[in-house]
Amino acid sequence: MDEKPSTRKSPEFCSLRYGLAFIMHFSNFTMITQRVSLSIAIIAMVNSTQQPGLLNTSTERPLAFTFNHSNRSIREVNTAEVSVYEWSPETQGIIFSSINYGIILTLIPSGYLAGIFGAKQMLGAGLLISSLLTLFTPLTADFGVILVIVIRTVQGMAQGMAWTGQFTIWAKWAPPLERSKLTSIAGSGASFGSFIILCVGGLISQALGWPFIFYIFGSIGCVCCLLWFTVIYDDPLHHPCISIREKEHIVSSLAQQSSSPRRSVPIKSMVRCLPLWAIFTGFFSHFWLCTIIITYLPTYISSVLRVNIRDSGVLSSLPFIAAASCTILGGQLADFLLSRNLLRLITVRKLFSSLGLLLPSLCAVALPFVASSYTTTIILLILIPGTSNLCDSGFIINTLDVAPRYASFLMGISRGFGLIAGIISSTATGFLISQDSVSGWRNVFFLAAAVNMFGLVFYLTFGQAEIQHWAKERTLTRL
């Protein structure tokens, strides 16, 4: 961009805006653990081929052979009184994708309403509802798969409220030269949460039973809600504890952004804006592969590497600690390149988008050919989410560049495209691996790589980083 924002310094990691980033990190950590809990618990929930006394313990059989093709659930009771359900791979795919249906329903309206009424209440309410529904998930499973799908859909609606409003807060709290740092710290909570739940989920399942996975992380979410409502404010101007120096630094750095309240959105201009479509396409491609990894990684490790539920969870967690690290390091590097004027803003966005889409695609394509090598497979599975999260400094935050005043609304639409990809990829993966495990996984990864390449080419062609003309206007066309 031709004009550089103010670079006047204020204390960083001891500042309120970085405290906000870490609280949001904890919130994202909480939501992703609640979302992924089912992915690790379901290995024990559907493991009906074991003897009653062995439920919730290890199994060396590939999961593809332990699933029965029945949509009704049955209940067996082992010594720990934990239920087991007959859910086919197709049914599991529907259950996994149902949370995405819920998120899609609330992404766009919550993004728009958060921009008008403030994000604090909307995020907090979404997090609280999601936490309470997580606590009730084991109970609903006993009443059948339909109720589980309904609960997961409502939980998705709650999480959609929480995910989207974050960008409304960052539009008011994040100086332009610190956006990559702050959003990467907050966003890395999702990767760190995936690491923790996959690492300890199997251990919890073995030691206490799979229902306690939901009880523990649902309770953590309730604690996070208390912290959120106590500490978070919608903007720095109304925070009672912010220093004058930091407040002036944030306000002056955002002075060039239009901050007038809006009640209408220039929909027609947005629809005709190719840079926005480049962002939407990037989200679609990115979420396609990420959803497969988050949802099916424990199943893949169990069925292909043939390890038990405990080791499956630990191995499944490793890629996400790499993802959290790459998210933070990528944000630091992106802002370093910008603050030193080494690269233009659009160059940085396209560089990190390219790395985040191309590198995981190469790893995914290689996976079917190294399935016989335990070590190589694990290395590639670690690299896929790690390199994929470099997109967080690319098109993921690009809406803050092209239309900061509509960032939350556009983030809702962007995540909507991503979640549509997640629904399709989850359902397609369940269908493909139910036909044939070996060829099914190969087709899953090849298809994901092709989708990533399409998104990369489109973004490189049409992506921009300048504020669009319709985002600068104060007099806007009505809906």
What is the average pLDDT score of the chain?
A: 80
pLDDT band at residue 4 under the 50/70/90 scheme? very low
Q: Which has the higher per-residue pLDDT, 207 or 63?
A: 207
Examine the pLDDT at 347 and tell me if it is beyond 90: yes
HSE, side-chain direction, 13 A CA sphere, residue 58 = 8
Per-residue model confidence (pLDDT) at position 89: 75
Per-residue model confidence (pLDDT) at position 83: 54
Span 105-124, pLDDT tens digits: 887 777 667 766 677 888 88
Among the ranges 311-320, 339-348, 418-427, which has the highest mean pLDDT value? 339-348
**What are the domain boundaries of the chain?**
14-47+84-253, 265-467
pLDDT band at residue 227 under the 50/70/90 scheme? confident
Examine the pLDDT at 57 and tell me if it is beyond 50: no
Span 283-323, pLDDT tens digits: 999 999 988 887 787 778 777 777 765 666 667 677 878 88
| Placement of tokens 């912290």 in the chain | 227
Percent of the chain at pLDDT exceeding 70 = 83
Topology agreement, domain 14-47+84-253 and domain 265-467 = yes
Per-residue model confidence (pLDDT) at position 410: 87
* 132-155 mean pLDDT: 91
Examine the pLDDT at 404 and tell me if it is beyond 50: yes
The CATH class of the 14-47+84-253 domain is mainly alpha
Examine the pLDDT at 257 and tell me if it is beyond 70: no
* 326-348 mean pLDDT: 89
Examine the pLDDT at 214 and tell me if it is beyond 90: yes
Span 266-280, pLDDT tens digits: 889 999 999 999 999
Examine the pLDDT at 423 and tell me if it is beyond 50: yes
Examine the pLDDT at 379 and tell me if it is beyond 70: yes
pLDDT band at residue 212 under the 50/70/90 scheme? very high
Examine the pLDDT at 34 and tell me if it is beyond 50: yes
CB burial string 257-274: b at 16+ within 10 A, e below: beeeebeebbeebbeebe
pLDDT band at residue 12 under the 50/70/90 scheme? low
265-467 has which fold?
Answer: Growth Hormone; Chain: A; (1.20.1250)
pLDDT band at residue 216 under the 50/70/90 scheme? very high
